[in-house]
Amino acid sequence: MPHHRNTIQHHLASSSSAGSLLTLHQVSKAYQTPSGSFIALRDIDLGIHQNEFVAVVGKSGSGKSTLINLITGIDRPSTGEVMVDGTPIHRLSENQLALWRGRNVGIVFQFFQLLPVLTIIENVMLPMDLCNTYPASLRRDRALTLLEQVGIAAQAQKLPTALSGGEQQRAAIARALANDPPLIVADEPTGNLDTRTADAVLKLFTDLVVQGKTVVFVTHERDIRRHVSRQITLVDGRVDDDARGEAHHRASGEVQQ
């Protein structure tokens, strides 16, 4: 068991929560602005199961990043509950959240956010060092295995600036996988990549879902539905559409298009 799983059991009234890895129950988020309170998300009820590959889409300002930030615990809901793998993360203190996040969620950003002074392999080892999830003697080998998995093992000893954007995003995905989290969350992970490289990153996410991970990501990619198992559309802070995608991932691990 590479890391501790919180086993707090919590029953929610929402039927959509049954068996979910991720549950949002009546979640709203208001931001305080000089001109008053602005409601960015309203009454969101969502249940996301293990192995789902979920794209969150919607116009600029519809609440996508806000939703992602609530799922990772980067931000807190104004009202409602956010449960991830049995943990009510809206109730954790900042310190508990930081530790929980490091062990349970892999986060991928649009601009990669690799530490520039560390080599690629050191960047991938960092979450293991910070959360002490694997014995120190195993971390380098594990990081190399992850870099092999994302196809950039040959770049392990380089600094991030020596890599292309696509390679840096692969390194960021390897880093997100470092502590073997069940959930990968990404905010526009292909937003800074050309089409071919973006497709390669989506393929990598598909592989992770086939291996049992759950991936939730914000995107402006067109035709994303053919890549994912579910597409959630936000309009003005509400779920306007929650549709099945065209890619269904069988339990056997085979992907059907």
Ligand X SMILES: Nc1ncnc2c1ncn2[C@@H]1O[C@H](COP(=O)(O)OP(=O)(O)OP(=O)(O)O)[C@@H](O)[C@H]1O
Binding site for ligand X (CB under 6 A): 31, 33, 38, 40, 58, 60-66
Is the separation of the CB atoms in 152 and 196 below 8 Å?
no
Q: Which of 84, 87, 104 is nearest to 178 (CA)?
A: 104
74 CA to centre of own chain: 12
Smallest distance, ligand X to C-beta of residue 213, A: 23
Tell me whether residue 48 or residue 131 sits nearer to ligand X (CB atom): 48
Tell me whether residue 41 or residue 131 sits nearer to ligand X (CB atom): 41
Tell me whether residue 60 or residue 252 sits nearer to ligand X (CB atom): 60
Smallest distance, ligand X to C-beta of residue 45, A: 18
Smallest distance, ligand X to C-beta of residue 38, A: 5
Smallest distance, ligand X to C-beta of residue 64, A: 4
Evaluated on CA atoms 199, 146, 208, 179, the torsion sign reads negative
Please give the sequence-ordered ranges of beta strands (E in DSSP) within 62-140, or none if there are none. 79-84, 87-88, 105-108
242: how many CB neighbours lie within 10 A of its CB? 13
Tell me whether residue 64 or residue 170 sits nearer to ligand X (CB atom): 64
202: how many CB neighbours lie within 10 A of its CB? 24
Instruction: Return phi, psi of residue 90, to 5°.
Output: -65, -15
Smallest distance, ligand X to C-beta of residue 243, A: 18
Tell me whether residue 57 or residue 128 sits nearer to ligand X (CB atom): 57
